[in-house]
Chain A
């Protein structure tokens, strides 16, 4: 045991001294390895971060796994009985005890800003929607039960909307008028951050309050509303359920609502979240990115092998001297191998640190996040570990050939002058 320890330490020490003596040459060869490890770690880390960002974005648009969507239309082309559908939905949600269910009604609401009246894209949803789509709030709060019971409709607006209002303090309960001059007065209770590509105001309101607002409004000219074309304003239904229940529930919900609506309607229930295909949807991206990185690393290793081989041939005599002072063949093999490993691990540490700095830089965050990912995941530990492991592996691989050459050195020939 003690001999194994001193043997290991001795070999590392030997390798370190060797590296110190040939530092210029070693440094040059290591730049390549450091760059390769940096790029490998960066792509893996970015991959993980982009994946998380993508997941967040796709969850925001199509729900978290598993989200079921329900839509229904009349088979004869007439409009479906919205109230019957609503009732069937409520019953189904209650029957299966689903906590996260929401209606989604898209419409346009005329909002009189100081710069003029604007049709604002509006999604009327139920309260659980915020959780189901990970809606982020930068000011105020998402709809609460109190908002639901309040007389004045509550609004959660995007930051573009909020800017146009002049960034009022939400504690002062800023109001806007819905549906033109004589419409209802609504209170802005929350602000969501807008993605960098969003330039138009948009907002959420509660589906229950939309109904009252619309009932109070005089029937507006439908053609003035770009969101209420054919089938516009129709209600979508969605529920967020445990993924393992997705299949049985999909069938059950379809059957129950179909039964409630009768033969005249066609009911569709489907999944749209990213996890619906079972496989990892980012697998291909990962493979491509990983493949390129490995290629880069192997090229770096090739350069290292070359230099290590040249170095070993110049050191035949030195190896002979060490052997004559008691170095076993195994020890020589290990020490030469360790030279590569110690060197590449050092380069790997530098590469990983560079990758961390790069990935955590604000520029990279902007590009990846599009302003939509507010709290960035920390630098993925597995990427750093992978970078170090790859550096070690490449060092061992690059050290193998020179180590084999070193072991084959004939001691007698090496010390003959």
Chain B
């Protein structure tokens, strides 16, 4: 039994007054409990679209999307929402904390949609979770008083507070500097390991991708398994650095040629 399964999944959009646009094409992907998966791909290749499908925020145009072997299509809208709330935790590139709410209120937010013990004990659970991400002393801080790394740690606490079996992270380090990014990834890895949750990370950064055990590359809507980008993290870092230099050069070149 798999946690999440995509079989020949296609996602097509119909932009107004334009021909149909296929964003995902024949995607096959299986996520088992406790998996560590990374997906890399260029901007616009359909990574977020894929993640939205995996997070049950969207439905495939064709193909099978199943959670715990049950087709997601067979759930009602509210049923899908509840399933998502209970089983899936999101971590976004832009943190997406609720402005004006304290760290504690942000972490407790998903528990407002739970019932029973989780609902009634939400403040305690949220405080414990903040403690676990090392922010026990910032429970009453508002997001705009927190650094980027701290905000992302609050977001991590929020994504984990209901004990999800699947964590979906869309460029979780994209808005952080290199060092902070690495420590945030370490934290995500650690809590995912502790709770036994599966983790799917979307990233541009090969060094982040290298932390995973299973690697995929998404290119123009087509998902292909990728060999480990490098045998060792050190090499991948070198690779990443090389890529960045190449990118920068291409960008500079592009800019020049645009003039």
Contacts and interface: CB of A to CB of B under 8 A. Distances in A.
Nearest to A10: B112
Nearest to B94: A417
Nearest to B142: A21
Interface in B6-23: none
Nearest to B77: A329
B85 interface: yes
A317 B99 CA distance: 11
Nearest to A326: B85
Contact of B57 (A14, A21, A412): A412
The 8 tightest CB contacts between A and B, nearest first, are A326-B85, A21-B100, A326-B113, A325-B110, A328-B78, A328-B81, A10-B112, A6-B119
Contacts of B221: none
B52 A412 contact: yes
B85 A325 contact: yes
B138 interface: no
Contacts of B120: 6
Contacts of B116: 2, 6
B185 interface: no
A324 B113 contact: no
Interface string B88-103: 0010111010111100
Contacts of A417: 92-94
Given A14-B112, A326-B84, A321 B78 contact: no
Nearest to B92: A415
A342 to B, nearest CB: 15
Contacts of B114: 6, 326
Nearest to B87: A326
Given A412-B52, A416-B48, A331 B113 contact: yes
Given A6-B119, A321-B98, A328 B82 contact: yes
Nearest to A7: B115
Interface of B: 48, 52, 55, 57-58, 77-78, 81-82, 84-86, 90, 92-94, 96, 98-101, 105, 109-110, 112-116, 119-120, 158, 162
10 contacts: A2-B116, A6-B119, A10-B119, A317-B96, A321-B96, A322-B113, A324-B84, A326-B113, A329-B78, A415-B92
Given A17-B101, A17-B105, A411-B57, A326 B110 contact: yes
Nearest to B55: A324
B160 to A, nearest CB: 11
A2 B120 CA distance: 11
Nearest to B159: A325
B86 A326 contact: yes
A327 B80 CA distance: 10
A114 to B, nearest CB: 78
Nearest to B56: A324
A323 B81 CA distance: 7
Contact of A327 (B92, B100, B113): B113
B115 A326 contact: no
Residue of B81, B114, B116 with highest tally of chain A CB at under 10 A = B81
Nearest to B110: A325
B101 A324 contact: no
Contacts of A13: 112
A321 B112 CA distance: 13
Contact of B109 (A2, A325, A411, A412): A325
A99 interface: no
Given A6-B119, A6-B120, 13 more contacts: A2-B115, A17-B105, A22-B100, A317-B96, A323-B81, A324-B55, A325-B85, A325-B90, A326-B84, A326-B162, A328-B82, A330-B78, A417-B93
B98 A318 contact: yes
B96 A328 contact: no
A276 B92 CA distance: 75
Interface in A29-81: none
A13 B48 CA distance: 32
B169 to A, nearest CB: 13
A416 B85 CA distance: 19
A328 B101 contact: no
A3 interface: yes
A13 B122 CA distance: 12
Contacts of B113: 10, 322, 325-328, 331
A359 B48 CA distance: 62
Contacts of A415: 92, 96
B152 to A, nearest CB: 14
Nearest to A323: B81
Nearest to A331: B113
Contacts of B110: 325-326
Contacts of A322: 109, 113
Contacts of A325: 84-85, 90, 109-110, 113, 158
A139 to B, nearest CB: 64
B115 A3 contact: yes
A21 B101 CA distance: 7
Contacts of A321: 96, 98
A327 B77 CA distance: 11
B84 A6 contact: no
B170 to A, nearest CB: 9
A327 B105 CA distance: 15
Residue of B94, B99, B101, B115 with highest tally of chain A CB at under 10 A = B115
B101 A412 contact: no
Contacts of B48: 416
Interface in A290-324: 317-318, 321-324
Interface string A1-17: 01100110110011001
Contacts of B85: 325-327
Contacts of A329: 77-78, 81
Contacts of B78: 328-330
Contacts of A323: 57, 81
A22 B85 CA distance: 26
B67 to A, nearest CB: 14
A326 B81 contact: yes
Interface in A109-167: none
